[in-house]
Amino acid sequence: MASRIPLKKSERRAPQNATRIGRTSPQKSISVSVIVKRKNPLDLNALGGRKLSHEEFNDKYAADPAAFEQIRTFAQQHGLTVDEAASSQARRTIVLKGTAEALESAFGVQLHEYEDTQHKRPFHCFEGAISLPEEHSGMIEAVLGLDSRPVAKPHFRRLDASKKKASSQSFSAVQVAQIYNFPANLNGSGQTIGILELGGGYTENDLQTYFQALGLKTPKVTTVSVDGGQNSPGDPNGADGEVELDIQVAGAIAPSANIAVYFTPNTDQGFIDAITTAVHDTANKPSVLSISWGGPETSWSQSSMTALDNACQSAAALGVTITVASGDSGSSDGTNGTTVDFPASSPHVLACGGTALMANGKQISQEVVWDDQSQGGGATGGGFSTTFDVPSWQSNTLPSGSNGRGVPDVAGDASPESGYNVVVDGEQEVVGGTSAVAPLWAGLITLINQQLATQGAQPAGFINPTLYQNPNAFRDITQGNNGKYSAAKGWDACTGLGSPNGASVLTSLTSNATSQNG
């Protein structure tokens, strides 16, 4: 029998906050996504900001067809079937289906059933590492689906009316855009905003009620099902607030853009499959992807983080900007220590932190770090990654001695006390959280992409290096803290570079595009 070796970085520990029920039924049907390495290494620095067409990307950086053939043979040897319709060389994903018994044998694991103590949701997972025949291990980056524990939570917070302060002030997303000086002559026409959701749903009625009240046309919203995920509104304790907030904020800022919502299960497999589906979606063609979900770096497997970060690198090469909420639980991210939220900590996304905003008309009267933790609320996530090194574009900005990628990059209004008026399950609500900041920035970048298109330029794509070279495009936030970290002059681990001056961000990104095209 061929010798087997552990798949690098695939180790998993027993889940926390879950009850073990017993062994997984041998006949349970399970689907796994095998992520295959690229044909050639992708070096974004070598591209120098150039965006690739899907054809060029697939030619150079997709999976090698020979690797897919080898995995088809491996599947056949272990009694597994290949779901060809769900597989994609561009996404470097080959989907295998089979019984738990067959998958345990194929990947050298033992599956157990658990129940999540908070949501009473059942899932299966393994402890230890996945193992593979030696001849296959070198071509595989990750095997997803053998562990279906929930990996992320939505980063939205409702305003608690009982704790509402006299100074509380809620806004429409349109007002927030005006306060932040977003370009008023652009509406997102010709663009598509992608939004990733790991649960919850929206209703057409809610969207129509919301947009009509703002005097705006309801945008065209397309739902895309990934791994069986569905638009499932109606659970008052679920993630509807997240889904409605994302669509309504992004849609209010770029009302003429189309919106594609990628619904997927809350697992690392679902999360990564949804990102790769959106990034390689040549039908809807999103140029921006907004993500308001995440979990502490410490809760992810290393191979899942690598696979997800690599998917974000593909997005950068293809000119898709990914905006990600940095979390709502301060510098601890809901753990007993200090950690950052992932995927906000990926160096290939725009990590979005949160502020508390006070305004007089369109003028900002005060803006500080969002931190309601002393009142039992939340605070902006932020800190330093223990997984990803300091990226080159951050090296001159972070405090000296920083060892890891700094989070967040940028900020925006997130406090429920200065939250967004939205419509959820037929009710008017005020919602905040860094969840609002990811679609806020996604909306701004969509407006900028519309402007770039009129100039014959490519979409903004991976904007972090340009933003860090243009700190004057931001309102520097110098007051407040998120637990361990305090705001300071320049970049800080609460609000990054600060909140946007939309017109200045537009100038920075269009000037950069002009110089690249020139």
Which sequence positions are flagged as catalytic? 242, 246, 435
Q: Which residue is associated with the tokens 């090296």?
A: 395
* Angle in degrees, CA 144, 148, 154, rounded to 5: 105
3-state SS class at 513 = helix
How far apart CA 108 and CA 111 sit, in angstroms, is 10
What letters, b where the CB count within 10 A reaches 16 and e where it falls short, cover 409-443?
bbbbbbbbbbbbbbbbbeeebbbbbbbbbbbbbbb
> Strand 157-158's sheet: what is its strand order?
157-158, 427-432, 420-424
Measured CA to CA, the distance from residue 60 to residue 23 in angstroms comes to: 43
Q: Contact 323/288 with Cβ under 8 angstroms?
A: yes
Return the residue matching tokens 């061929």: 2
In contact, 505 and 444? CB cutoff 8 Å: yes
Contacts of 98 (CB under 8 A, 6+ apart): 29, 30, 75, 78, 79, 80, 81, 106
Burial 120-145 (b: 16+ CB within 10 A, else e): eeebbbbeebbbbbeebeebbbbbbb
Shortest CA distance to 353 belongs to which of 475, 188, 251?
475
Concatenate the DSSP letters of all residues of 378-437 into one string: -B---EEEEEEEPPGGGTTTSPTT--EEEE-SEEEE--GGG-EEEEETTEEEEEESGGGH
- Using DSSP, state whether 4 is helix, strand or coil: strand
Radius of gyration, CA atoms only, the chain: 22
Closest Cα partner for 362 from 179, 503, 180, 502?
A: 179
Q: Of 170, 517, 80, which is closest to residue 319 (Cα–Cα)?
A: 517
Q: Name the DSSP letter for residue 19.
A: E
The rounded distance, in Å, linking the Cα atoms of 474 and 107 is 49
